[in-house]
Amino acid sequence: MRALAVLFALAALAVPAATAGGGLTVDAAASLTQVFPRIDRSPHYNFAGSDQLALQIRQGAPADVFAAASPKYPQLLYHDGLVSKPVTFATNKLIVLVPRSNPAGIDSVYDLRRSGVKVVIGDRGVPIGAYTRQLLDALGITDDVMRNVVSQETDVKSIVAKVALGEADAGFVYATDAKPVASRARSIKLPAWAQPLILYQIAVVNTTPRKVGARAFIRKVTSNRGRLLLKRAGFGVLPRRR
């Protein structure tokens, strides 16, 4: 646990700290931890798995904006009248993350089928876990890889930490997660044809008393500057609507 805390502390040095200024609370997917405070330092950020955040919103936890790593949860909340119509603002890709020393000699996703390889993935309910299973199904190696899974995590930050600390031989994470831990881990690309479509969506929480501020935050994320910062962080962005 101490080593885990140290890693998170080191990763936090790579990004300006988020503050609670302005009273705005943004619930956002864990994979946005590095980039959102670069776009706007002022909100209070609550970073976690998209499924966990959606559940918190359903249970009435205070939040003004919801940004998820999958359309699934914003769309379900929208259907139930809990958020405004979601807007797609970024894309991502999956990679296999391995420790910098790569003790298991992983050179390809197919190496994860070997006996004894320790693999970490996301829980089925969180977007990174769902995307990983889609990719494994497309590659036809689901059963072989799942036999080597030693842990299923509730957010992508936990997967990154376990790999970077050498507690696992490999983990499936987003491409944007590799940069903050580049000194401790490296990425292995996956076949482009097997990549799932990864879309990030954002919406205003309908119960917020700060709708003007919430909409302003979303405009910052989708602005030219926001799109540039997302691209610099490794995200894909969609053409702006005219």
| Domain co-membership, 187 together with 201 | no
SS3 220: helix
pLDDT tens per residue, range 56-108 = 999 999 999 999 999 999 999 999 999 999 999 999 999 999 999 999 999 99
Which helix (H) or strand (E) segment is 107 a member of?
Answer: none
Range of the domain at 45: 2-91+197-232
In a domain, residue 67? The reply is: yes
Domains of the chain: total: 2
| Domain co-membership, 168 together with 204 | no
What gap in Å lies between CA 233 and CA 184, rounded to an integer?
18
Residue 45: count of CB within 10 angstroms of its CB = 21
In a domain, residue 239? The reply is: no
pTM, two decimals, is 0.88
* CATH (domain of 24): 3.40.190.10
In a domain, residue 169? The reply is: yes
pLDDT tens per residue, range 141-157 = 999 999 999 999 999 99
In a domain, residue 49? The reply is: yes
